[in-house]
């Protein structure tokens, strides 16, 4: 398959706002449709400390392209903070990087449709 850069989708709680008194929030970044592996996912959580977990890449069939999800959990004053997910895919070009910036309180995933193929074989990924 030819080299292909990923498409990025921010993942946040979609149907209800996260209560402002919640002590932490988990946000996600879905990188999908890329080939070949790997991608490098990093997060900018501003002044907040957070923990990240990036899941192993999954092959999307029948295309053979890959998808992966990275999660960021932050606590503290997250509702006022903006978060940026950066994904680098070196095989696409020397320095291919894309960013998605969203807030913890109301992310753009309520307005972003994640393709059905993103849900396949990666558990119940996507909205809701």
* Angle ∠(38,89,35) on CA atoms, nearest 5: 60
pTM for this structure?
0.73
Q: Where are the domains of the chain?
A: 7-103
pLDDT of residue 54: 95
User: Would you give the DSSP letter of residue 122?
Assistant: S
Which regions in the chain score pLDDT beneath 70?
14-18, 20, 94-96, 103-128
Distance from C-alpha of 53 to C-alpha of 64, rounded to nearest angstrom: 24
pLDDT of residue 52: 94
pLDDT of residue 99: 77
pLDDT of residue 62: 86
Per-residue HEC secondary structure of 72-109 comes to EEEECCHHHCEEEEEEECHHHCCCCEEEEEEECCCCHH
Check whether domain 7-103 has CATH 2.60.120.10, yes or no = no
User: How do beta strands 97-103 and 82-88 pair?
Assistant: antiparallel
pLDDT of residue 107: 41
The residue to which tokens 């990093």 are assigned: 42
**Which secondary-structure segment (H or E) carries 68?**
strand 65-75
pLDDT of residue 33: 93
């Amino acid at each position: 398959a030819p080299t292909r850069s990923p498409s990025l989708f921010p993942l946040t709680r979609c149907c209800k706002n996260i209560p402002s008194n919640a002590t932490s929030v988990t946000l996600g970044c879905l990188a999908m449709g890329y080939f070949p592996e790997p991608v490098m996912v990093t997060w900018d959580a501003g002044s907040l400390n957070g923990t990240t977990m990036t899941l192993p890449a999954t092959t999307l069939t029948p295309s053979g392209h890959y998808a992966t999800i990275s999660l960021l959990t932050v606590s503290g004053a997250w509702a006022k903070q903006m978060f940026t997910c950066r994904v680098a895919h070196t095989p696409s070009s020397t320095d291919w990087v894309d960013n998605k910036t969203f807030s913890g309180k109301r992310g753009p995933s309520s307005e972003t449709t994640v393709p059905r193929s993103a849900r396949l074989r990666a558990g119940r990924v996507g909205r809701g």
